[in-house]
Amino acid sequence: MCHQAKGEGMPELPEVEIVRQDLEREVVGKKIKSVEVHGLRSIRRHKSKKQFIDPLDGRKITAVRRRGKYLLLSLDSDGVLVIHLGMSGQLLRAKTTRTPVPKHTHVLITFTQGGQLRFVDPRTFGEMFVTETADVDKEVSELRHLGFDPLDEPISWGQFGHSLAQHKTKLKTLLMDQKFVAGIGNIYSDEILFAAGLRWDRLSDTLSSQEVRRLYRSMVEVLIEAVKYRGSTLADEQFVDLDGRPGEFQDHHKVYAREGQSCRRCRRVLVRKRVGTRSTYFCDACQV
């Protein structure tokens, strides 16, 4: 089904949340035996490999959190390993160090109990760095201004409506603004707006209270559903979970990458519009 689209700005919030859940299950409580770095671009905030490796050596991973699209692995030293997957980054678990290492593997973390965590990133937009927990926001300015997280910190419809009304912006642009809401990109903004029956270019200050509620509910439901189906893996197959398995939510997309097919709500033909450098998919008939 509809695997034609390439990931524009993938992975988004559901995919990062799936990796977080996998990491929580697989690496929390494990002690780091050694770290190898093969690509300096992946640890570009550090001046040297040693500066990245030393604070990880012999440390235990105590918790895994997510803030927007950033993964934060707490260490038993008050340090934190911050991971951003960028556009093509993958974290893969290997049961033993003998498992063949994929091409474009830039960082390998080996645990004392055996097994490895590997950071694979063909396009090298992703990164890893170690810092003190208190300094994370200083290091990543994006996190200082991050909007609310629809999966982690629900807000009231009233707050949401008030915030929408203040912006006077096209809905899709606003949903993709990380300062407004964390972690939503091209795929999920289209899916959320379709679920809410709202057009991408509708201005945020024109919504009735019923539409505000519908948009908020659609946002939460679409993201929860995407996590349930283990995320969206598109034509480039860049998103996979910790075991290297692709997601299945692309088979449940209602509009994204379905132009020319019929709308599942009103049977009209779905359209695609180029907005800037991105494609926007929607139903011209039942999104108002």
Give dist(CA 230, CA 211) in Å, integer.
28
Domains and CATH numbers, the chain: 13-144 (3.20.190.10), 157-282 (1.10.8.50)
From the number of C-beta atoms within 10 Å of its C-beta (0-12, 13-18, 19+), residue 138 rates as exposed
Average the pLDDT over 137-147 and give the result: 92
pLDDT of res. 5: 52
- One DSSP character per residue, 47-79 reads SSHHHHHTTTTTPBEEEEEEETTEEEEEETTSE
Cis peptide bond prior to 11, omega within 30° of 0: yes
From the number of C-beta atoms within 10 Å of its C-beta (0-12, 13-18, 19+), residue 28 rates as middle
197: left (phi over 0), alpha (psi -120 to 50) or beta: left
The residues carrying an active-site annotation are 11-12, 69, 278
User: Could you tell me if 252 and 166 are in contact, meaning their C-beta atoms sit under 8 angstroms apart?
Assistant: no
Q: Could you tell me the pLDDT band of residue 4, with boundaries at 50, 70 and 90?
A: very low
Q: What is the tens place of the pLDDT at every residue in 150-188?
A: 999 889 999 999 999 999 999 999 999 999 999 999 999
pLDDT surpasses 60 at 2: no
Give dist(CA 182, CA 179) in Å, integer.
7
The first and second tokens of residue 286, run together, are 């039942």
The first and second tokens of residue 164, run together, are 């929408």
Give dist(CA 121, CA 98) in Å, integer.
20
Average the pLDDT over 78-104 and give the result: 95
